[in-house]
Chain A
Amino acid sequence: MREYTALIWLLMTPFLGAALTYLIGRSVARRVGDSSTVNPARWVALLSQLATGVFLYFSAQALWVSGRPFGVTIARLANDVNGILLRFDGISLLLASVVLVLTFLVTLYSVTYMQGEVGEEKYYALLMAMTGMMIGLGCTHDLFNLWVWFEGMAISSYMLVAFYHQSASLEAGIKYLVQSAVGSVFVLLGIALIFLEAGSLNLSAIHMALGSASASPVVWVAGALLLIGFGVKTALVPLHTWLPDAHSQAPSGISAMLSGVVIEAGLVAMLRSLAVLPGMAETWGYLLLGFGALNMLVGNLMALRQTQVKRLLAYSSLAHMGYMLIGFGAAFGFGSQAGAAGGFFHLMIHMLMKGLAFLGVGAFLYTLYVAKGKHGPLMIEDLSGAARRYPLAAFAVSVAVLGLGGLPPLAGFMSKWQIFVAGFATQSPWVIGLVVFAALNSVLSLGYYAPLVNRMYRQQPSALVLQGEKLSVWLALPLVLMTVLVVVLGFWPTLAAGWYETAADSLMRLLSY
C-alpha cells in the first residue's frame, strides 16, 4: 500500500464507519424498536475501528521504516502549495494509536454499558466521528484545518456528554459547550492574527514566514490566544471548570474518552500550533511549566475532599495534565527532547490508567446503579467492600489509581520518572524545584487514591454492593486488557518507545531545535 493511500484511508474510515454505524443501527432500531438489545451498531463500529487500525498499521509501518514523516497535499492543482497538507508524523502516530486503542476498548465496554439505551446507534456513530476527528487533528499540517478537526471533535462530544438527558448531565453539557465555544473563538482569533502576519496557514510556511522577521507583538498575542483557546479543552487551571462536571456526568465510556484522549488532543493541537511560532518557544515553555504547577496543585487539592468517585477522578485528570505540561514545558523552554518524550509517554500511560479508572468505576456504577435503572452519582461509600463481590473490577481500579499515584511497578511511575529525569537534566534550579514539587504532589495524590483502594477492600460490603448485578464479560474484558498493559509497561517501559520517542522527535523538529 502506498503510504499516503494508507493515510487518506486512515482519515476517512472512521467517518465512513460512523455513517454506516448510524444507518445500519437506525434501520434496525426502526424495525425492532429503539431500546432493542440486538442493535448491530456496536459491531459495525468495532469493525470500522479494526479497519482504521489496519490503515494505522500501514501508516505507522511507513513512518517507522523510513523514519521520515510523509504527507499528501489536497489541493486544486497537483503540487499546489496552497492546499491542505495532511502529514503523518510521530505525533500523529501517537495520537492516532492512543485514540484508536481507547475507542476500541470503550466500544467493547459499551456493549453492555449502553445496551438498550435509546439512541444507541447515535452514541456509536458520534463516538466514531469523534475518534476520526481526533485522528485527523493529529495528522493535519494546516493551522485552520487543525481548528476544523478540533471543532469537529468538540461538536461530536457535546451530545455524548449530555447523553442521559437528566438535569445534571444537561447542565454539564451546556457548560462544556459554552466554554469550549469560547475557547474555540479565541483559537480562531489567534489563527486570524497569524494568518495576518504570515499570509499562510501551512505550519511549515508559517514557521518560515514568521522566522524571517523579529517576532511582532501580533504574533505574541496570537500565541497567547491559541494557548488559552486550546487551553480550555486542555483544562489548564483556571480554564478547567467545565471538566469535573462533564467528566462526572457523561456515560463512563465517554468519561474515559474525555479524560484519556480528548483533553490530550487539545494539548496536541496546542503544542503543534505553538511550536511553529519561531523564537518564542522559551516563553511558551515557561508558561506551560507555570500552568503545570498550578494544574497539579489545584487538581490534587480539589480531588482530596471529593466524595463522588468520578468527580475525584476528573480532578485527578487536572493534576496529570500538569505532569504532561511539565514535560512539554521542559521541551519548549529548554529544548529537552527527553521532556517531550516524557510528556508523550505520560500522555499514553495516562490514557491507559485514567481510562482504566473511569471504566472500572463505570463498571461499578453500572452494576450498582444503571443496570437497575437508577442514575445517581457513585459515592466513595458505595464502594465499601466491593472487592468481595467484584474482585476483578476492584483490582483493576486499584491498579489504575495506584498507578495514577505513581507507585511502582505500575506504568504511571515510569512515565512520571521520564518527566522527572528530563526536568533534572535541564539543570535549571527552577525546573528541579518544580520536579520536587511534582513529586510532593504525587505523595499528596496518594492521600485520595489510597483511601479509595482501602474502601474497596473492606471486609463488610455495603448494602448496595450486595445487591449489585453481575459484572458482564464485556465490562470485564477492557478492564483486564488495560490492567495488563499498565503492569507490563511498568516493568518494560521502553516497549512504548516506538511511539513516544518518535513523537518527541517530531515535536523537536517542529520546534526546530
Chain B
Amino acid sequence: MNLSVATLVFVAVLGLLGVGLYALLATRNLIKVIVALQILVKGAMLALVLAGRLRNAVQEAQSLALTVIVADTIVAVIGLTLAVQIRQRLGTLDIKALTSLRR
C-alpha cells in the first residue's frame, strides 16, 4: 500500500473527529465539551485544506479555513461564557446538573 501524504492528513482528520466525538459522549465537564468541539472543528478545517491542496486550490482553501477559524472561535467564546454563567449559577460544570429539562 503506498501511503500518501493525503492519506496521512485524512487520518489526522479522522483521528481528531473520533477523539472529539468520543469526548462528547464520554465527558461530563462542560469546558471539556467545548474543548472537544474545538478538536472537531480542527479536523473539519484540516479536511477543507486537504481538499484544497489536492485540488490545487490551496489559497482558496486557506481563505475558507480562515472563516472557519473565526466562526469557531466565536462559538467557543459564547460556549465558554455560557459555561461560566452556568458554573456561577449552579456551582458546577457537571452535565448532570443540566438535566432539569427532560421529557
Contacts from A to B (Cβ < 8 Å): 82, 144, 148, 151-152, 154-155, 158-159, 162, 165-168, 170-175, 177-178, 181-182, 185, 188-189, 191-193, 195-196, 199, 201, 244-245, 248-249
Contacts and interface: CB of A to CB of B under 8 A. Distances in A.
Contacts of B79: 174, 177-178, 181
B27 to A, nearest CB: 11
Interface in B55-103: 55, 57, 60-61, 64, 67-68, 71, 74-75, 78-79, 82-83, 85-86, 89-90, 98, 100-101
Contacts of B12: none
Chain B interface: which size bin? 35 or more
A82 B60 contact: yes
Contacts of A154: 75
Q: Could you tell me the dominant secondary structure of chain B's interface residues?
A: helix
Nearest to A148: B67
A484 B13 CA distance: 53
Contacts of B40: 181-182, 185
A162 B86 CA distance: 11
13 contacts: A144-B64, A151-B75, A155-B71, A158-B78, A165-B89, A170-B86, A175-B101, A182-B37, A185-B41, A189-B47, A192-B50, A193-B47, A244-B101
Nearest to B98: A171
A165 B37 CA distance: 23
A188 B44 contact: yes
A244 B86 CA distance: 19
Nearest to B34: A178
Given A167-B89, A177-B78, A182-B24, A188 B101 contact: no
Nearest to A195: B51
Given A192-B51, A196-B51, A178 B24 contact: yes
Nearest to A191: B48
A112 B3 CA distance: 64
Nearest to A171: B98
Given A195-B51, A196-B55, A248-B101, A170 B43 contact: no
A330 to B, nearest CB: 32
B37 A178 contact: yes
Majority SS at the chain A contact face: helix
A175 B86 CA distance: 12
Contact of A167 (B67, B68, B100): B100
B44 A192 contact: yes
Q: Which of A154, A168, A170, A249 has the most CB of B within 10 A?
A: A170
Given A170-B82, A185-B17, 12 more contacts: A82-B60, A144-B64, A171-B98, A174-B82, A177-B78, A178-B79, A181-B37, A182-B37, A185-B41, A188-B45, A189-B43, A192-B48
Given A167-B90, A168-B100, A172-B101, A188 B82 contact: no
Nearest to B76: A181
* Central interface residue in A152, A171, A201, A244, by most chain B CB within 10 Å: A171
B84 to A, nearest CB: 10
Nearest to A197: B51
A332 to B, nearest CB: 26
A193 B67 contact: no
Given A174-B98, A175-B98, A199 B55 contact: yes
